Amino acid sequence: MDVNKQTITKCVIPAAGLGTRLRPATKIQPKEMLPVGRKPTIQYVVEEAIAAGLKSILIITGRTKRAIADHFDLDFVTGKPIEGELDYEKLGVRFFFVRQAQQMGLADAVSHAEAFVGGEPFVVCLGDTIIGEPEPATLLKRLVDTHVRRGASATVAAERVRPQDVSKYGILKPLSRVGDEFQLADLIEKPAPEHAPSRLAIASRYAFNATIFDAIRAVKANPPGKGGEYQLTDAMRELLSNGDGMWAVRLAANEKRYDIGNYESYYKAFVELSLQDPEFGDSVRRHLKALLAGNRGR
Ligand code: G1P
């Protein structure tokens, strides 16, 4: 069967990272459970996957991450979803959990999804990143569409970042002209600014064919990459070296990535998304304006 003609129904959410940059808040709780407005970060990610039609969801957890599985249970007392939650059962959503026993990097985390994926193409959404967009999951839907239509082995979301930030991301080298979607010639994990092939960063959302698991095995046969970890970017590079087609889809002007991995970006995400709260957003906006104008606010 041609894998690229299959619809994608499976979503893998890596949530095993230790969150050391968010200590002490993450000393014993998952960073993915930190609230942004009313919901924990990972609930946004799950809702995005569901909005894109991905109803089999595997969350890769690890040490200190048990609260994540609890969160997607029904209410303990009523046995029903609570206000502010989707009715997962009614929507036909199924959750699966697997633990990464040791911190060995994103490629290793994703390798734990192999049995779940069962040879089908799948999506990866990093559990510590929210995509802000006017309509739910438009980015993810475009990503899946490009992946299937182009017959790609891997497709990533791409965002232009500041030159001083390229060393924080996987950076893309376009093969073709950079439009809304473009083909990749190469990619490199967290390059020094002088070695960055562009300012286009991998933006926390991926689509893969199951061939990524062989590529991860090949990467793990060698010493670890950047930061002493097995990098997903290196596994993608391995696919490229086999001559596979790889594509990127750019975030549109009205789409935004909120990464909660450090306090600066977490604070910004919280402030910005709480301004969208239907009940208190306006009041918080007035408060911030007053504070910034030098008044004490109330
Ligand atoms: C990971 C990936 C990197 C990507 C980033 C944001 O890095 O390794 O390629 O650009 O997520 O999606 P991390 O933020 O886990 O260090």
Residue pair 15/59 in contact by the 8 Å Cβ criterion: yes
Cβ-in-10-Å burial (0-12, 13-18, 19+) of 212 comes to buried
Average pLDDT score over residue span 54-71: 96
pLDDT digits (tens, 9 = 90+) for 13-47: 999 998 999 999 999 999 999 999 999 999 999 99
Judge whether 283 lies within some domain. Answer: no
Q: What is the pLDDT of residue 7?
A: 86
Judge whether 272 lies within some domain. Answer: no
pLDDT digits (tens, 9 = 90+) for 199-234: 999 999 999 999 999 999 999 999 999 999 999 999
Tell me how far the alpha carbon of residue 231 lies from the centroid of ligand 1, in angstroms: 9
Instruction: In whole angstroms, give the CA distance from residue 177 to residue 175.
Output: 7
Determine if ligand 1 sits within 6 Å of the CB of residue 106.
yes
Which pair of structure tokens corresponds to residue 296? 């004490």
Please check the confidence at residue 286 and state whether its pLDDT lies above 90: yes
- Mean pLDDT score across all residues of the chain: 95
Judge whether 244 lies within some domain. Answer: yes
Phi, psi of 29 (to 5 degrees): -130, 150
Among 106, 129, 155, 172, the mutation site with the greatest number of ligand 1 atoms within 8 A of its Cβ is 106
Judge whether 61 lies within some domain. Answer: yes
- Structural domain span for residue 237: 3-157+175-180+200-261
Domain count, the chain: 1
Judge whether 273 lies within some domain. Answer: no
93 CB-near residues (< 8 Å, 6+ apart): 50, 55, 56, 57, 86
Judge whether 187 lies within some domain. Answer: no
Among 123, 126, 155, the mutation site with the greatest number of ligand 1 atoms within 8 A of its Cβ is 126
- How far is C-alpha 23 from the geometric centre of its chain's CA atoms? 21
- How far is C-alpha 154 from the geometric centre of its chain's CA atoms? 15
Give the helix/strand (H/E) hosting 204.
Answer: strand 200-208
Helix 232-241 to helix 212-220 angle (10° resolution) is 110
Return the closest-CA partner of residue 44 out of 53, 56, 32, 54: 32
Judge whether 80 lies within some domain. Answer: yes
Q: What is the CATH number of the domain that holds 125?
A: 3.90.550.10
Judge whether 285 lies within some domain. Answer: no
Confidence of residue 195 (pLDDT cuts 50, 70, 90): very high
80 CB-near residues (< 8 Å, 6+ apart): 74
Average pLDDT score over residue span 169-173: 98
Instruction: In whole angstroms, give the CA distance from residue 56 to residue 58.
Output: 7
**Nearest CA owner, ligand 1 atom 11:** 204
* Model pTM score: 0.96
